[in-house]
A = this chain, B = another copy of it.
Amino acid sequence: MDKPVIRVAVVGAGFVGSALIEMLSDPSRHVALVDAATAPIELVGVAVRDLSKHRAGIANELLTSDAQSLCEREDLDILVEVAGGIEPARSLIETALGRGVSVVTANKSLMAACGTDLARLAHENGADLFYEAAVGGGIPILRALRTSLAGERIDRVMGIVNGTTNFILSKMTSEASDYEEVLAEAQALGYAEADPSADVEAHDAAAKVQILSSLAFGTGLYGEEISREGITGIRLVDVEFARRAGYVIKLLGVAERVGEFGISRRVHPAMIDVDHPLASVHGAMNAVFVEGTKAGPLMWLGQGAGGAPTATAVLGDVLDAARNKVSGRHDVPFMVDTTLHSVSAGDLSSVFYISIDVLDRPGVLAAVAGVFGNHGVSIQSMEQSGFADEARLSFLTHHARSSDVDATMQELSGLESVDSIGACIRVIEGGTQ
């Protein structure tokens, strides 16, 4: 038998693609790569949008603007898609998988939109579909869920999976700065986009939660919307209240079991205990915290973005897919457990922090407290601070249903003496150590 060679094509030569190509071409890594892939890896082509742009480290003859033909090459073993977006990524991946070519992608939106269909297509054609880089950048969490923890019953996954929002919240905390000020700084540093909505409105984190949930629990990836609250409503006063109370505010992506067959998937800001391992995840770092029935708490921490870290995750996938190609097998796709149903965020209970600004006059507190009572939301503690003719009321509730808290907020906003409704943030109690 001829010694096999694994032929790899890359679509996209941005930060991730070029870092990957640099690693694949690095002579000092050659022995380790052959050893890990069980065969030499040959880069056979790189599809880019703009052929006229100079690409350091990529041989000219490898470049093409015809991604479709690259995916249709007869001898192709693995397609790496690091261009992003839904189309043409989806069509290219379908072309490759349909021909038994294994696919490695970093495309979280695509996986969240139609990952189940793509995984089925891969399986039917004896190919792998790996996407480690889609969640947590360089953090190898997905393979761990898929392999090491495959036999474990997972109860909850909580992640800080968006570096931009964690950078903003960390700065607001460490520098006592306002949201708008820190957002502008993040934009100037390139940590946040000019239109920051994908990050701050939690669309990015929501896609990652769906992917984590599909591997942890067997929920499908069909592009459905999950409950999503961003960080645009978080004010410095909330950050400071959290600190006084022994918490920090993080944007958490959560997927957890509710009863035997329910799964809640959601993204929202949360106050977490300063002793919780997630509380010390600062700046643009990402982390995923997993609670297993037998394994107990586990956490993965690392750089959630950036070309080089993300490329290491892609490379790990390429090596795994290469090993499989050499031994003529492919990995089990994730199971979709059809007995599961989605639990709405409104049906879940939590302790809530609620902050409202009211006019400072007699009877206001009684009126406000009455509204909480109307909806069965019981108050654990209250802090009042006055300024001019207004007062700020900050409440911690006892455990309350989210929908009851929403109704409370709704009724409060209609009270004449309520000037404005501030944040309403879930409180996650307890560290784990």
Chain A positions within 8 Å of B, measured between CB atoms, are 19, 23, 28-29, 31-33, 35-36, 38, 132, 138-140, 143-144, 147-153, 275, 277, 280-283, 285, 292, 294-303, 306, 308-309, 311-313, 315-316, 318-320, 323, 327-329, 332, 335, 433
Contact = CB atoms under 8 A, between A and B. Distances in A.
6 contacts: A33-B151, A138-B295, A138-B298, A295-B309, A295-B313, A299-B299
- Dominant secondary structure of chain A at its interface with chain B: mixed
Given A296-B303, A309-B296, A140 B148 contact: yes
A150 B328 CA distance: 20
A299 B301 CA distance: 5
Given A151-B312, A295-B302, A300-B300, 19 more contacts: A23-B151, A23-B294, A138-B295, A138-B298, A139-B298, A140-B298, A143-B143, A143-B148, A147-B316, A148-B313, A148-B320, A150-B316, A275-B282, A280-B280, A283-B433, A285-B433, A295-B309, A299-B301, A323-B332
Contact of A147 (B143, B150, B292, B433): B143
A323 B151 CA distance: 13
B319 A29 contact: no
B285 A320 contact: no
A32 B151 contact: yes
A123 to B, nearest CB: 12
Contacts of A328: 327
Nearest to A26: B153
A308 B294 contact: yes
**Most B C-beta atoms less than 10 A away, residue of A151, A152, A282:** A151
